Structure 1
Amino acid sequence: MDFSSLKLFNSLRKDTRRQFAVIGLGRFGRAVCETLHNLGYDVLGTDIDEKRVAQALTVRIASSAIQLDSTEPTALKQAGIFEFDTVIVAIGNYVQESIVTTLNLKEAGVEYVVAKASSEIHVKLLKRVGANFVVFPEYEAGRDLAYRITKPAILDRFELDTEHSIVEVIVPDEFDGKTLEELEIRNRYGLNVLAVGNEQKFIVNPTPTQRLHKGLAMVVIGSNKDIKRLPI
């Protein structure tokens, strides 16, 4: 299972939000544009760099793309950006421009603004000016690497908040051949098993009689403290 970027795209996934504007067409912005566009959403990409805009149109990673300076409220208004329900500010490496753009959007009444940050201070400033959701890709990538190095049995991890996560783990040797009922994972560890399987197929919401085996993975949800108690 792949939880990469799950926080970001789950934060965008609402039935009433079918149109997105992405401001900033660097690597991060292009990835967001392309993914949303491939999912079938109407996406407007913008950048101050005309070459990036032209490239976005050439490779068709967005429904449309225009060149504009997002720090200018008039430019945003003329482009119709304020009419979008959701706008992603993907210019995290330019702190001042990122903050001013986010502020412009919120002051104009944009309902939902997602912003990319490049530092912890940047995260705080973006939240202060009204960003509804802030992503910090470099921090998240470093944290995930640390988990992979120290806990190789954890295949994937999605943090729900600072204290709770969903993790995909290799079935421990101690669980081999036993059913979920026999293991009493919820009573013993305070965790709920969401799925069991492998890359080809997962059984979602497995029954208590589901038997675990070496080579399989299981997806569990619970507190980070309880997840650490698993024999992995």
Structure 2
Amino acid sequence: MKSLNFLANSNTKNRQFAVIGLGRFGRAVCASLHKMGYEVLGTDIDERLVNQALTQRIASHAIQLDSTEPESLKEAGIFEMDTVIVAIGNYLQESIITTLNVKEAGVEQVVSKASSEIHGKVLRRVGADRVVFPEYEAGCALASNLTQPAFLDRFELDIENSIVEVLVPREFHNQTLSQLDLRKRFGLNVLAIGNGEKFITNPNPSQVLKEGLVMVVIGSNKNLQRLPL
């Protein structure tokens, strides 16, 4: 969820996407975009990975090319895309050159995968509009899951604030939102209540909570830690 947040933050209506690098992260991005119904072009220098993408049907189109060569990118139509995701995280030189190529060509939004803080800084210097750290984020998510098992999912708004899906704790069972007054007690706001499949958004203060239901809550990470989970 975290590494793909840029999809939620982008205005994806009628947008065209290209994913350069079809490793695990690149394939996940392709598959997510394709499942959402968007046109996505996947590319990689490795013909085997291109063929896998075509066989698994995780992209609208997939072609083999060397992304360090601007002419190859131009011929493939990548410079015409609204958003390009550079998913070459483990090959620093290729990642940096590719990011520079697509940004200098005028691509509106370039999202690049980084394998370290230094790598990320260089990517920003050469023009990446957004840098993601999938391995780091996965480690943080695992730590959160192990220490806060009631947190089903998390969307980080920034370094200090999040939106989380959390199981209604036993202490809240059979109490209304008005009675609990989470805003006053914890500095948190409830955005939705549901069973994991169907949600009631902007729930009424008279909404009764039941143990085992799911709350979607927004607030600071510090205040979220205070919930009786």
Partner residue in 2 for 1:14: 12
Worse overlay, 205-214 or 27-36 = 27-36
Aligned length: 229
1:174 partner amino acid: E
Worse overlay, 57-66 or 160-169 = 57-66
Asked if the contact 2:2/2:137 (under 8 Å) is kept, the reply is no
TM-score normalised over the length of structure 1: 0.92
Partner residue in 1 for 2:31: 34
Q: Aligned with 1:15: secondary structure?
A: coil
Partners of 1:62 and 1:228 in 2: how far apart? 39
Partners of 2:210 and 2:105 in 1: how far apart? 55
**Aligned mate of 1:46, from 36, 43, 48:** 43
Partners of 1:178 and 1:90 in 2: how far apart? 47
Worse overlay, 7-16 or 65-74 = 7-16
Partner residue in 1 for 2:73: 76
How many percent of aligned residue pairs carry the same amino acid? 69
Partners of 1:55 and 1:225 in 2: how far apart? 43
Which runs of structure 2 are paired with 1:92-103 in the superposition (5 Å)? 92-103=89-100
Q: Aligned with 1:87: secondary structure?
A: strand
Asked if the contact 2:167/2:212 (under 8 Å) is kept, the reply is yes
Post-superposition offset of 1:181: 0.6
Asked if the contact 2:190/2:202 (under 8 Å) is kept, the reply is yes
Partner residue in 1 for 2:217: 220
Q: Aligned with 1:162: secondary structure?
A: coil
- Evaluate the alpha carbon distance shift between residue 6 and residue 78 of structure 1 in structure 2; reply closer, same or farther with a 3 A threshold: closer
- Evaluate the alpha carbon distance shift between residue 174 and residue 198 of structure 1 in structure 2; reply closer, same or farther with a 3 A threshold: same
**Aligned mate of 1:176, from 168, 173, 176:** 173
Residue 152 in 1 paired to residue 149 in 2?
yes
Q: Aligned with 2:205: secondary structure?
A: coil
Partners of 2:145 and 2:178 in 1: how far apart? 29
**Aligned mate of 2:161, from 160, 164, 172:** 164
**Aligned mate of 1:201, from 175, 198, 203:** 198
Asked if the contact 2:175/2:208 (under 8 Å) is kept, the reply is yes
User: Residue deviations 1:166-209, cap 9 Å, x none?
Assistant: 11112122211110011111122111101112223222211101
Asked if the contact 2:88/2:94 (under 8 Å) is kept, the reply is yes
Partners of 2:147 and 2:44 in 1: how far apart? 39
Worse overlay, 28-37 or 52-61 = 52-61
Residue 121 in 1 paired to residue 118 in 2?
yes
Asked if the contact 2:3/2:132 (under 8 Å) is kept, the reply is no
1:69 partner amino acid: D
Q: Aligned with 1:44: secondary structure?
A: strand
Structure 2 unaligned blocks of 5 or more: none
Post-superposition offset of 1:16: 4.4
1:138 partner amino acid: E
User: Residue deviations 1:77-130, cap 9 Å, x none?
Assistant: 122211111111111111111111001111111100111111222222212211
Structure 1 unaligned blocks of 5 or more: none
> Runs of 4+ in structure 1 displaced over 3 angstroms?
3-6
Partners of 2:196 and 2:149 in 1: how far apart? 17
Partner residue in 2 for 1:66: 63
